[in-house]
Amino acid sequence: MTTTIIDGKAFAEKVRGRVAGFVAGLKERGITPGLAVVLVGEDPASQVYVRNKGKQTLEVGMNSHGHKLPADTSEADLLALINQLNADPAIHGILVQLPLPGHLNSDLVINSIDPAKDVDGFHISNVGLLGTGQKAMVPCTPLGCLMMLRDHLGSLAGLNAVVVGRSNIVGKPMAQLLLGDNCTVTIAHSRTKDLAEVCRRADILVAAVGRPEMIPGDWVKPGATVIDVGINRVPAPDKGEGKTRLVGDVHYESAAAVAGAITPVPGGVGPMTIACLLANTLIACHRANGLPEPEGLTA
């Protein structure tokens, strides 16, 4: 059996190309989608993410509004900035980069964003809308996973899906999206009894547990589609002292030997996250202007 490697980098490029086409159409109407990204503090990984988001926002023709605040920014000042962005008609999407410094209440901050501009899909209103099958802003990483699954498998109806991980950012919304596409869904986690056997029943196995290479190939049903959301940095002694490499939550070599399709790490789910952030900003702009939603870019 030949395993299909799902190329997230190439698929994300296609999504960005589609977004850019819609943005060009909006500009002909005198509308330019605007994305505001707020970064508090100097977290190195967050700085890289924010830089990449800004670059790709501009590449698809949107306006990028970066707001870098010092690590000791008060909650009142951060909330005041968010209120200002909520009221700005040129801003269609607002993203506050997580994690925030410890003195800031992340839930309070996220829930202060206008739900219609919450392109991360983390606001409690969007969580509730998604959970009840209504129109919502959908978290970017699960949305990217769903797009890749639909692209590879076509209809997902009737398939057994197992999501390993129960985070609010990936696991829970991923399960809701798979339910919406008529899968039979199990949410499993590190305390699930006989986790290996639960995983072996999956036609679709989504690993989002945050543990390096936790899921070996003998947990994978032959022919299953494996989506590995994990991004873990582990030591790589073969590359030299102190060197590291990125691995997923799935042991790639052993899983690829039995899966029908699998996403690599890196180059799988990761690139889709920013592509879906741009898609969400485009959708928010369409909704704000009373325009039909672009097809193929929503859940």
67 has which bridge partners? 38
Structural tokens at position 62 = 């949107």
Alpha-carbon gap, residue 279 to 260, rounded angstroms: 28
Query: Which of 56, 117, 118, 120 is flagged as catalytic?
Result: 120
Out of 56, 97, 118, 203, the active site residue is 97
Distance CA 35, CA 56 (A): 11
Alpha helices in 181-214 (DSSP H): 195-200
Cβ pair 248, 205 in contact under 8 A: no
How far, in Å, CA of 275 to CA of 57, rounded? 9
Is 228 considered catalytic here? no
120 is catalytic: yes
Give me 189's structure tokens: 């986690």
Distance CA 269, CA 26 (A): 28
Angle at 53 between CA 181 and CA 106, to 5 degrees: 75
Closest Cα to residue 1, out of 252, 293, 260, 201? 260
Catalytic residues: 53, 97, 120
